[in-house]
Chain A
């Protein structure tokens, strides 16, 4: 399967044994939440409160609470929707596309990246639902007969395609993630001591025992799910881009949108994965599992997709000139030099120039620089959507309708609030679920640790620290163990 190279960097460092993997990953699930987690959770809950307040204002007083006007009828809501959906895409890329390409390094990061996908899609879904104004009527988007006759949904509309794309994407990602979690829940169940934990993880693990036949089917299911998720993830952002591309608004009506949006989605998604992983590996002391090599590889993907996005920006400009359509040309000149020039400049700087720094090995392997880069890219990708949406709408065909858009405090509240929602969910996940796929990491251990787990247990060829405790044959895992590493 995998070529074992003497020069290839190990995927897991620290000479881990199978039991070390279990102990290290289960540690934060079993231990009491630490103070850093509590503080982070407190901050996330505060912003979740901001979210609920802003949603309350939106529902009680209506969409008028937002900064929208007659000309700009879509602004921060759709910007945030596209931004969040895009972020989600990296998780599926890691879990599905990299599985098909047999990139073994994905094992350490796929669990958290998939969780990120699911939470990001939840945040994304808030915006179109709230923009409906009457979310209790949200079921109208489904192809159901109306009360007075048989008027169905309009299947020619990209907005309806979006409903199908996002709901399929969410449910498929959720199932894919959950099936991967089942064996790990079984591990936690078999180590659990408290009665509540025993029942809870027994329920969650669905009675998984790790029998050979079950594993064989598990692998088949994972492969097929990866196979269907790969075109799915491409279709989702393609359909999101068609919300714009099938209109006749100058700046939106371009055929380049689907590939350009997909590349942008993966670009921003990897930036978010990097942001989250750099924090997670430090907070939960997972430096041996999420190594500098992982960070460098993710940086490379970010650079490639970032460059594709850069080429797309320039192509768009060229095509606007080449099309000879006055309105199209004006839309692009207005983007770069009009009243929103600062948004365009932020987008170009953050998305086109910043990722090029990753060509330098020193940047690629630097944790602080990568962290800053990942934040800048996320800001840049938010501006990209803002530029595409607001600058195209605010000066359309009729100059008498030209306006400026500025967000209201409620717009800002909902956006910041979804960040709170996202981090609340992510922190709960990080506390109660295994953040790294233990079963999968165990499969790559033998080929990547210097000598493989030795079978009398124990002697890691440690880079600095030895495994927490030797594995003694005959001692059940339920015997009290100490985690020296985490003291």
Chain B
């Protein structure tokens, strides 16, 4: 989106220098985010000099790819004013199905894995748009239902392989070009291109922003809002599936905790990238940077020997701080 800087300055004038800087950042989030990313990379390199290498970059990207795709799902839904708290269970379930079907061949395993996202995304979409269940409640409940179902199915119809086949392992964890570029980053780049195209260059993308800003107005303009919402949840579900399959391929073996730890970061990456939880504002370019920032941060905390628990505290704090900062920006404007 192109913004003219003039009105932003006018709006921020009375609030002083800090507010003006904040408004400028709100207008051009990608510039500030790129700066933050660069600083984080340098600081991490200072902590662990080996990090500033091809393998360091590769490891960061390997981590960032599944997170970035999950955060893509959140970005689309947050733009509509929704959210998907079941997206990590979709990822886990898809990976579980793909692992189970891996003996049947990679194509079938991946396809059936994606079917999980299609089905669950459709159910979320129908619940939110047709039955008007609050998206938080709908997807939180869906997450619980999925965990229960997959726990039961693990003992019954999904008994068998919990190992991904070699092709999925290669896509999820392997690299090419002299072991420099992970395949999963290629998948992520293709998806990123697709998402940016969808959001910026299609009517569907226009409507995603529009219903997040004012659903009633979009309805009165003659749009069937439920159709837009359902498709958004389906796209999010499929993105969850792809992310889960990549993540499963990276770890090799799949269990029901696979994507658990990614829920908060998936929201955090979108929020860091400038997408508003209230809808209508943001985009995927910022989310990509958000996912990269979180991955670098993760590496840094690992090098500093900070445990998983503290990392979750850090993610939670980041989301809170940004949500507070964003609320402050909109109050002023």
Whether A associates with B in a native complex is no
